[in-house]
A and B are shown apart, each in its own frame.
Chain A
């Protein structure tokens, strides 16, 4: 007989000595050992994650040190309102995640699922805002490296619906989750309802994030452009992709960039002779393009970590819906929580390093 015999949780000779509950893996002596092992494993994994990102932080330090003016010029293309709102969203998700850990210890399944769902929703909202940011940048040609399009005043925006493309996976997931919810409702399965609910909400949160991002992006373009701090006043001209009210008024970034005496950029070594286009040294593939390479690599790899976190949080929701966690077995929630805080933490570094340079 060729049956796959994975080591069963309880082996015969072992049973004689200990009681081994289903949640305790067979090779651990007790709950404490299992918890300690899991936790140490997660911390070591987080160390590898920090080192993984460290390569990109090194690249950032290297090129910022080499061309500080490029970073100052480029960071004005990043909408710090979107960055700030995303920072807030992630910080809030860390709160809900920590709360989820507590709820799992106290066996409060409803709170636990609610908090995990909230964390998932925040993650989705973060990605929604990010999708607005990315699609906006792509539409005005802010691509990485050799695909960077030099920013010239009045250049037509791309009509490719990038935001739509980025939303398609979320839309498919939303439809899938709604169908799943309907199925759970029809089957009247408590377990499936508990799982499907947070998933539907999370998928909706993505579109909430998209809407939020669009509102803030539009505000940046139309509303308080002149009320905004002088140093980043030129940011709005670039953001102006839907309305054309500013098209005439919008001189190229450098006009503001170099013209305004208050701006910090004033002392940057860019030639004041050029008035219509950004300094040609900066506004090219090997300069601004390199900044956006670093920007996309760092935020992109971070976004992939968010996606990974969402996958494991979903797994936790399923486990929670099965009432698997209790005071002696909550390691998975705790460890995913640690991971989630790290992902949050990395963003807390990325936000000032990329968005708040000027």
Chain B
């Protein structure tokens, strides 16, 4: 047996050769992960979880697109039966929304980064944090059950009255959503308390990195909106089980009330998805431009503003469902107000790049793609917020394209950008930058090819959720399908680049990009306790003292 170097006896004078203590090597064995209270490990477990969910949702998306390669005017000869198609798009939506996008940035990256960026040892309630993760697992199991039980065909929105009549496993799915909701609530609660009570000396509110402002705003939404979804799902399950009739028009119930309840959560949930992505972009823009963020306070306030406005606009999902005229006008007007803080952010990001020294490495390329795609997604949202155009565009592919530009072009792209940005910190390995940029380029082109044609389809009247279409739409549908396959390839390249780095990547330095926030002051990967002594907190966007050291390939802070 060869001699195994014992890390304990390794002399401290050999930091490079020996195994430094970090959170990955701090303890080993399955239980040391399964029962860990370390926010970094919980974040990594979430990361694996949400990426698996994303892979599942992605495969389902490709099935949708492949099915739509032909018009399917003869349903019996189509690749998927109409019934199967309904189930596939339902699961695609539900898995992507509840299992991937909502937990993706806050629970995976947020969990890992929040305490380190804040300069604390852990989140306020580490056990609750682990509990959130297991609730996520439990919710995922319910979802997978509905996948294998087959027949969930309500769409991810579970609209009544169809969901009451549907023979599919609606109860399992709604209980899954209920459980996932509590996972999300507890994560948000934990983050709010951590940021409020655990900031170290010197970490004032306006010295917090903008990512934390974004996560904080997100947490407020999670805590305030998700309980309403919880009770809605519970009532829907009771509707199916006990026939309580609250949403059932046969019993004088009100199906539209379900829509109101549902969107009271699900519209703010849109901001649960996009706000942390905006936080990531704020970090990426500043660090990779090596220039302080432009308009720090405006970005911080706009995050909070989006969180609060987000509660007042749910009705714009229901313009065609039947509401009083005045109500629709008010909802429409409020919807437009959300564009103001969003536009402030985009303006400030561009202002950050102006006269900066932009390094075009993978995270920055993703960030640039985000700005481009998010702007399209945001502006097309105005078409849908306007009453007259929404009457025409409601429930068409225009809506599909709009929210994919925001959710996927926005959140997913930012998630990938952030993942590449913090990958060296999380794993201690550098990835191949060329591979990363290549993946970003393929994803960008593939994404636009997928969803730009869908805007056109939508304006021409192609309704969403249909398994077949008129032959004149075929060209646009085929372009979209080609784009989707390309997108799949791009994402696969990104995955391969990251996996490759795990095995062959060079060791990541402490601060590979030149960031000034606290996470770059602890080693890569961070030690178990994050900081051996309390870090000194400075301006998170002061790059004047950050210098590059060619010997270690790392940036460092001049004293």
Q: How distant is the Cα of A296 from the Cα of B528 in the complex, in angstroms?
A: 49
Interface string of A25-50 (1 = CB under 8 A from B): 11110000100110011001101110
Question: Is residue A194 within 8 Å, beta carbon to beta carbon, of the partner chain?
Answer: no
Is A88 engaged at the interface, CB distance under 8 Å to the other chain? no
**Among A2-10, A71-79, A249-257, which stretch is in contact with chain B?**
A2-10
Which of A5, A48, A144 is in CB contact (< 8 Å) with B26?
A: A5
Which of these binds chain B: A55-63, A118-126, A129-137, A224-232? A55-63
Find out whether the CB atom of A27 lies under 8 angstroms from the CB atom of B35. Answer: no
Chain A: CB-nearest residue to B243: A146
In the complex, B12 has a CB within 8 A of chain A: no
CA distance A2 to B36 in the complex (A): 13
Query: Is A54 in contact with chain B by the CB < 8 A criterion?
Result: yes
Q: Is B124 an interface residue (CB 8 A)?
A: yes
Contacts of B28 in A (CB 8 A): 2
Q: How far is the CA of A147 from the CA of B38 in the complex (A)?
A: 49
Distance, CA A6 to CA B223, complexed state (A):
28
Nearest chain A CB to B349 CB, angstrom units: 31
Q: Which of B35, B126, B243 contacts A145 (CB 8 A)?
A: B243
The interface bits of chain B over 206-232 (1 if a CB of A lies within 8 angstroms of the residue's CB, else 0) are 000000000000000001111110111
Given contacts A2-B32, A7-B38, A290-B245, contact A48 B193 (CB under 8 A): no
Residue in B38, B223, B239, B529 whose CB lies within 8 Å of A44 = B223
B96 at the interface (CB under 8 A from A): no
**Which residues in chain B, 507-531, are within 8 Å of chain A measured between CB atoms?**
528-529
Asked if B326 CB lies within 8 Å of chain A CBs, one says: no
The answer on a CB contact under 8 Å between B27 and A145 is no
Judge whether A14 is part of the interface by a CB distance below 8 angstroms: yes
On chain B, the residues within 8 Å of A14 by CB distance are 529
Q: Give CA–CA (A253, B559) in the complex, Å.
A: 86
Interface string of A285-300 (1 = CB under 8 A from B): 1110110011011000
Interchain nearest-CB distance for B113 vs A (Å): 16
Q: Which residues of chain B in 244-265 are interfacial with respect to chain A, using CB atoms and an 8 Å cutoff?
A: 244-246, 248, 250-254, 257, 261
Residue of A nearest to B26 (CB): A5
B193 contact from A41, A49, A52, A297, Cβ within 8 A: A41
Residues in chain A within 8 A of chain B (CB atoms): 1-7, 11, 13-14, 25-28, 33, 36-37, 40-41, 44-45, 47-49, 51-56, 58-59, 62-63, 67, 144-147, 285-287, 289-290, 293-294, 296-297, 301
Q: List 21 A-B contacts (CB under 8 A).
A: A3-B32, A5-B32, A6-B36, A7-B38, A11-B528, A27-B121, A37-B194, A40-B192, A41-B128, A48-B185, A48-B189, A48-B223, A55-B232, A56-B235, A58-B261, A67-B252, A144-B242, A144-B245, A293-B245, A293-B246, A301-B234
Given A4-B34, A5-B32, A286-B251, 20 more A-B residue pairs with CB atoms under 8 Å apart are A2-B29, A2-B32, A3-B32, A4-B35, A25-B126, A27-B120, A33-B197, A37-B197, A40-B192, A52-B228, A54-B228, A56-B235, A145-B244, A147-B243, A287-B252, A293-B244, A296-B244, A297-B235, A297-B244, A297-B246
- B-to-A contact residues, CB < 8 Å: 26-32, 34-38, 120-126, 128, 185, 189-190, 192-194, 196-198, 223-228, 230-232, 234-235, 238-239, 242-246, 248, 250-254, 257, 261, 528-529, 532
